[in-house]
Amino acid sequence: MTKYNPLWQLITTRIRQFFREPEAIFWTYGFPLLMIVGLGIAFRNKVEPPVAFVVVEGPAFAQVTDALKDNERFKVTAHSNDDAFDRLKNNKTPVVVTITDEGLYEYHFDPTNPESKAARDRIDDALQRAAGRQDVLRVEDRTVTAPGSRYIDFLVPGLIGMNLMSGGMWGIGFVLVDMRVRNLLKRLLATPMRRSHFLLSMVGGRAMFFIPEMLFLLAGAYLIFQVPVVGSLLSLMVVSFVGALSFCGLGLLTACRAKRIETISGLMNLVMLPMWLMSGIFFSSDRFPDFLQPFIQALPLTLLINALRAVMLNGESLLGQTGPLLALSAWGGISFVLALRWFRWN
């Protein structure tokens, strides 16, 4: 009786289909890891290089280099007037310094460029001190490097969330429409297979995949960039599990009626694009204006990534995430029920 359990057979079929599809393996494992490595390298914390800036040639150059002669944090070069401002316009120097005949120091820079602004402040600070400005307060810097405060630490939970979303949406949605298009669903329907079993197996298959995916990405991030998991690994797994299932439901709903591959591709992008942009994968969702925030915070991916970060970076407990987890479950549960009702089998 249990030798041939239909739900189990359907789930193992799903698993076999996945692992026998090389592209699926790349997009699920290879791609996110490549993103982590790529972005991690691009945004790595660099030892601060010296600030390089330009002074227009003439007596000003001698004055400035003289003032900064013992300061290794600056690299000054001289150029003709035209050349200097050309460089400024083309972002080759953050600041151009000129001194008027009356002895007024002029800083030419772009205040909207954070690098330029910072350079201007540093140059001014150094020049003022060289000219004799005194600090009034006694000051000592005590630096703290918290684990999980680098960009890469911020990024990894974002990418994990993104991966859980793509896995659920593409892994289920696309596969379903493909099966529908190729009349595979029709053949299965001609058997006594229960429809709910079929849909559950898609979700169940996904539930089994996500664990190795998660562990793979976490291990990769830890080994390459020492990204820590401050909270409990188990809590992280539970949060991911809820997230994965939630996107399964969403994937089922998105694909429940699409008849063609083009339709499902369009729908998938429509659903995922806002989340790609606004849910805080690559940068904080706070950057978006206030009137969008209620919408953004309700999105499933935002909920998931916030919870992942809370556990991974801040070490928060599972209990603290009950709110987001319930919301995610609601997204998933309601989507699944609607999908079951609206599902087009032919």
Partner 1 sequence: MQHAIVCKELHKRYESGAKAVDAVNGLDLEVRVAECFGLLGPNGAGKTTTVEILEGLLKPTAGEVEVLGIRWNCGRDHELRQKLGITLQETKLQEKLTVLETLRLFRSFYDSGAEPEDVIRLVSLEDKAKAWVRKLSGGQRQRLAVACALIGEPELLFLDEPTTGLDPQARRQVWDIVNNLKASGATILLTTHYMDEAEKLCDRVAIMDHGKIITLGTPRELIAQMGSEHVIEFGLLQDGEAEDEVPPETFLDVPSVRSAVRESHGYLLTVSQPHVAIPALLQRLAKEDLQLSSLTTRHINLEDVFVGLTGRRLDEE
The residues binding partner 1 (CB under 8 A) are 4-6, 8-10, 13, 16-17, 20-21, 182-184, 186-187, 189-194, 346
- Least distance to partner 1, CB of residue 206, Å: 17
Residue 244 CB, shortest distance to partner 1, in Å, is: 23
Element at 274 (helix H, strand E):
helix 261-278
Is the CB of 61 or the CB of 170 nearer to partner 1? 170
How far lies 116's CA from each of 47, 52, 89, 128, in Å? Answer: 18, 11, 12, 18
Q: What are phi and psi of 53, to 5 degrees?
A: -145, 175
Nearest to 195 by CA among 329, 336, 1: 336
Tell me which DSSP letter residue 26 carries. I
- Shortest Å distance, C-beta 186 to partner 1: 7
Residue closer to partner 1, measured from CB, 184 or 215 = 184
State how far the Cα of 19 lies from the Cα of 288, in Å rounded to an integer.
Answer: 39
Which one, 16 or 44, has the nearer CB to partner 1? 16
Nearer to partner 1, 10 or 88 (CB): 10
Which element (helix H / strand E) includes 8?
A: helix 6-19
Closer to partner 1 by CB, 17 or 45: give it: 17
* Alpha carbon distance 175, 319 (integer Å): 35
**Contacting residues for 66 by C-beta, under 8 A, at least 6 apart:** none
In the complex with partner 1, the residue whose CB is nearer, 189 or 273, is 189
Give the Cα separation of 29 and 98 in Å (integer): 54
Measured from the CB atom, is 8 or 105 closer to partner 1?
8
- Helix or strand (DSSP H, E) at 330: helix 322-342
Report, in Å, the least distance between residue 252 CB and partner 1.
Answer: 19
Q: Tell me how far, at minimum, the Cβ of 180 lies from partner 1, in Å.
A: 11
Closest separation in Å from C-beta 189 to partner 1? 7
Are the beta carbons of 303 and 240 closer than 8 angstroms? Answer: no
Min dist CB 10 to partner 1, Å, is: 7
Question: How far apart (Å, rounded) are the C-alpha atoms in residues 122 and 54?
Answer: 14
Residue 340 to residue 255: CA distance in whole angstroms: 11
